[in-house]
Every structure is written in C-alpha cells, then in structure tokens.
Amino acid sequence: MLKLSKRLQAVSKLVRDNVSLADIGTDHAYLPVFLLQEGKINRAIACDINESPLKNAAGCIRENNVSDIELRLGDGLSPVSSHEVDDIVIAGMGAENIIAILDNCAWSKDKRYNFVFQPMTRTELLREYLCESGYEIYKEICTEENSKHYCVIGARYNGNCFKASELFKALGKVPENSDKYSKQYILFQLNKYKRILSGLNRAQNSHDTSLLLKTIKEIEEIYNDYS
C-alpha cells in the first residue's frame, strides 16, 4: 500500500466515499493511487498541465498496479467534462493558481461537486475568493509536516456570495476544530499577522493598521480560549 505524506493524508480525509475523483495537478498521482488502493473511490482522472508529472504518475500507477485511473494532459479542469466527476482535488499549488483554475472552468459552480483545496501559499486569498464566489467552506483540516503548516479546505458551491471578514480570511473554519494542529495553525497565523504589523510600524508610513490590530486581537482571543 502506498504511504501518503501527512499533507496528502489530510487531503484524502475530505474526499467522499465511492466517488469519481479528479485530481488536478496530480504530479505522481499519489493521492488517487492511494484512494483506489483503499477502495475509497470508484475511479480517478489524474490531470496535469505538464507531461513529465504524468510520466511520474504512469510509473506510480504501474508500480502499484492500480486500474480505474486515467491520465490527462491539460490546464486545470479543461481535460475533464462536468459529468465525469463528483469530487475535485486541487492540492499543492498556490492560491492564485487554484483561483485561476476555478475561474476558467464553466461548470464548477454546481452543488453536486465536493472540492478539496490545499493551497501552498496565500490561503487567506483563497478563502476570500471562495466566499465572494458562492463556495461554502464546510470544513478545514490542519496538519504539519517538516515544520510547515498546511490547511486543507473542503468547499462546495451554494451560490451564497459574501465578503469574508479579515478574521475568516485568516482562520476560516479552523477554530471549529479541537486538535493540536489546528491550535498550532492559529498560533502560526497570529504570529504572521503580528509580524506584518511590526513591519508596517517599522516602515512608519501612513498605513491605517486599525483593522489589522482588530484581527490580531480576535485571533489572540480565539487562541487563548482554544481548548
């Protein structure tokens, strides 16, 4: 059985049972191969914009002897048709790239799909985009690997668009959890926002820091109350 990294294990937890999965930016196809080995999903379409990752994926599929997985070359969700998949994973890339992939897809705004995102950078930007575009974030899972913090976001479209608060952009649904990685993530975000504030204060420009100060206070309260 393939051994997944802790980051991809966290991603795998938000994939539903017995679905057809699209893994966008699959690289080695570790996630779909693991989920097929486990019998959690029925089939997978593993896509990548580059040919060499798909060669890695073909090797991994061969070594692990799994079937029911198709490899497709192309940008974002363009190699996939709307009726082929139920769950869509976009993991291991920056938030801007994930947003561009959603923006370029004509069919992703449909409540039948379960999305699992794992941004490597600018998670706040992705949360903001999802709220403003009518995707509900229903759960987040935090994990840590090699001293890096990762957040996995489960989302589905419900058409309810709203402007996310600074606090929600910073923490999303993480405060609803009660595990050590979520607590670490809250602290990580708190320290990041404090560093941003110090930088602005040091620059001594005319930046209005009141919203940032308010967000830091809110994160601090959540962290202190966290069980």
Ligand X SMILES: C[S@@+](CC[C@H](N)C(=O)[O-])C[C@H]1O[C@@H](n2cnc3c(N)ncnc32)[C@H](O)[C@@H]1O
Rounded to a whole number of angstroms, the CA Rg of the chain reads 19
Q: Measured from the CB atom, is 8 or 219 closer to ligand X?
A: 8
Residue pair 186/205 in contact (Cβ under 8 Å)? The answer is no
Select 88 or 190, whichever has its Cβ closest to ligand X: 88
Q: For the CB of residue 71, give the shortest distance to ligand X in the complex, in Å.
A: 12
Query: If DSSP codes are grouped into helix, strand and coil, which group holds residue 74?
Result: coil
Closer Cβ to ligand X, 27 or 124, answer by number: 27
Minimum distance of ligand X from residue 222's CB (angstroms): 28
**Between 78 and 177, CB nearer to ligand X:** 78
Report in angstroms how near the CB of residue 117 gets to ligand X at its nearest: 10
- For the bound state, the minimum distance from the C-beta of residue 74 to ligand X, rounded and expressed in Å, comes to 7
Number of CB atoms found within 10 A of residue 89's CB: 28
Q: Measured from the CB of residue 99, what is the shortest distance to ligand X in angstroms?
A: 11
The two three-digit tokens of residue 162, written as one number: 């709203």
Interacting residue ranges for ligand X, rule: CB under 6 A: 8, 24-27, 47-50, 53, 75-76, 91-93, 97, 101
* Closest CB to ligand X among residues 3, 163: 3
Helix (H, G, I), strand (E, B) or coil at 214: helix
Left if phi > 0, otherwise alpha if psi is -120 to 50, otherwise beta: which for 172? left
C-alpha 172/C-alpha 152 separation (Å) is 11
Q: Which of 37, 35, 38, 8 is nearest to 20 (CA)?
A: 35
